[in-house]
């Protein structure tokens, strides 16, 4: 969402369509990545909590690299990782995993506080069945690019900083990772 969009003003149908699109993405992308069925991707998921925890630090740089690759192709400036924003994004990802709901909540205030002084903020959310951090990064960014509201945020030239959150566990009955990427203008 962008700062101009009010979550309350969105038509009731829009959140259901977005949830359906994210669900379809979560089902289709792992099969494509594994070159087979969803069951093949579930087998490729990390077997232990330690493997999953180790993936989180590698996921952030992989997302920044993927975002900057996409933005460079569009002639946009690169974004840089913001640690303070990432702590807030990670807390939000953990909250969504814990509650089992992919929701923005009162994101504008949360992101604005984490970003400090920012003229504009944005946020994108997603979830996928777990794979490797670089595959997850490519898959989730590709999914956001295929969604008009998310694409708008990813390709907004005003944004120069990102906070990246990832939480792994069970989501919607699957071993999954839940993502939050918060966006802000430069300081």
Closest to 92 measured CA to CA, from 110, 112, 80: 110
More confident residue, 86 or 33: 86
Q: How far apart are CA 122 and CA 2, in angstroms?
A: 5
Answer yes or no: pTM beyond 0.75. Answer: no
Q: Which of 18-27, 75-84, 98-107, 172-181 has the highest average model confidence (pLDDT)?
A: 75-84
**Tell me, what's the pLDDT at 10?**
34
Instruction: Give me 51's structure tokens.
Output: 């493997």
Assigned token pair, 38? 């969803």
Q: Cα(53)–Cα(55) distance, rounded to whole angstroms? A: 5
Which pLDDT belongs to residue 61? 92
Q: Which fold has domain 79-185?
A: Pathogenesis-related Protein p14a (3.40.33)
* 56 pLDDT higher than 70: no
Q: Assess contact for 90 and 165: CB atoms under 8 A.
A: yes
Answer yes or no: is pLDDT of 180 > 50: yes
Residue 6 has pLDDT above 90, yes or no: no
DSSP code for 76: P
Domain limits, the chain: 79-185
pLDDT at 51: 39
Average pLDDT, the chain: 74
């Amino acid at each position: 969402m962008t700062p101009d969009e009010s979550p309350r003003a969105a038509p009731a149908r829009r959140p259901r369509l977005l949830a359906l699109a994210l669900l379809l993405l979560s089902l289709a992308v792992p099969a494509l990545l594994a070159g087979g069925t969803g069951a093949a991707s579930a087998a490729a998921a990390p077997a232990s909590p330690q493997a999953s925890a180790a993936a989180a630090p590698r996921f952030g740089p992989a997302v920044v690299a993927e975002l900057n690759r996409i933005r460079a192709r569009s002639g946009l400036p690169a974004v840089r990782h913001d640690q303070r924003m990432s702590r807030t994004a990670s807390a939000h990802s953990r909250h969504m995993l814990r509650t089992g709901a992919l929701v923005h909540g009162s994101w504008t205030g949360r992101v604005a506080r984490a970003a400090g002084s920012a003229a504009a903020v944005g946020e994108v959310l997603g979830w996928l069945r777990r794979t490797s951090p670089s595959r997850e990064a490519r898959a989730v960014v590709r999914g956001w690019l295929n969604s008009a509201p998310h694409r708008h945020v990813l390709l907004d030239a005003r944004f120069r900083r990102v906070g990246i959150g990832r939480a792994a566990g069970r989501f919607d009955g699957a071993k999954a990772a839940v993502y939050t990427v918060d966006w802000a203008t430069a300081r």
